């Protein structure tokens, strides 16, 4: 073989590694860009999940706070009804008593309970909403009936309401333990 025929063959072999290097130089930045894009997409996914987690936690915290407030409100109604019954008893005994303030306090406590119950019902199904509404109406009825009730019999007024309130409290416990 002559020198002239060997030269093009050697030149092709030398050019071959250069072409692989060129392809590598072109593809490597594309690989890095694709990796960066995938990382960015995954980061967006994680941020979205984090926002959802925070929103669920805020909703759950608000629900639990409202459960605490409604429990306070329920026992406040019991206190106001007992105070109204005692004031009415004093008036029946001949001691002048301003029952208007006691009646207003009991009615206000029942209304406050109804408002909180309505808010909590928004997190529940239709059956729970109906139960919460019936409980609020029952408490309004009790607030009105407390004036004609003997102080010793006020607890009996709450027999039906206590059962309904227990269901509401169970709903609060169930939701507090869930992830909403």
Our CA dihedral for 145, 151, 156, 157, rounded to 10 degrees, sits at: 20
For residue 2, name the pLDDT band (cuts at 50, 70, 90). low
Mean pLDDT of the chain: 88
Residue 152 near residue 89 (C-beta atoms within 8 A):
no
Write out the two tokens for 162.
């206590």
pLDDT at 168: 93
- Quote the longest CA-to-CA distance of the chain: 139
Q: Examine the pLDDT at 68 and tell me if it is beyond 80.
A: yes
pTM for this predicted structure: 0.73
pLDDT at 17: 65
The set of residues, in sequence order, having a beta carbon less than 8 Å from that of 67 and lying 6+ positions away, is 120, 169, 172, 175, 176
Q: Of how many residues is the chain composed? A: 180
- Section 105-111 average pLDDT: 95
- Section 67-85 average pLDDT: 95
- Section 76-99 average pLDDT: 92
Least confident range of 1-10, 65-74, 105-114:
1-10
Least confident range of 16-30, 76-90, 121-135, 144-158:
16-30
| Model pLDDT for residues 111-167, shown as the tens digit of each residue | 999 999 999 988 888 998 999 999 999 999 999 999 999 999 999 999 999 999 999
CB neighbour burial string for 10-35, b if at least 16 within 10 angstroms, e if fewer: eeeeeeeeeeeeeeeeeeeeeeeeee
For residue 15, name the pLDDT band (cuts at 50, 70, 90). low
The residue with greater pLDDT, 74 or 7, is 74
């Amino acid at each position: 073989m002559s020198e002239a025929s060997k030269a093009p063959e050697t030149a092709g072999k030398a050019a071959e590694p250069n072409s692989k290097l060129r392809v590598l130089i072109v593809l490597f930045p594309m690989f890095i860009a694709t990796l960066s894009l995938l990382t960015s997409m995954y980061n967006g996914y994680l941020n979205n999940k984090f926002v959802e987690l925070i929103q669920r936690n805020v909703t759950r915290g608000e629900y639990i706070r409202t459960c605490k407030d409604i429990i306070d409100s329920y026992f406040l109604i019991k206190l106001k009804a007992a105070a109204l019954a005692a004031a009415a008893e004093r008036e029946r005994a001949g001691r002048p008593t301003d029952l208007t303030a006691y009646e207003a306090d009991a009615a206000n406590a029942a209304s406050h309970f109804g408002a909180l119950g309505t808010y909590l019902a928004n997190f529940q199904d239709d059956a729970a909403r109906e139960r919460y509404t019936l409980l609020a109406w029952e408490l309004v009825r009790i607030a009105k009936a407390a004036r004609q009730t003997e102080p010793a019999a006020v607890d009996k007024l709450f027999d039906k309401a206590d059962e309904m309130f227990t269901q509401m409290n169970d709903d609060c416990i169930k939701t507090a333990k869930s992830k909403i």
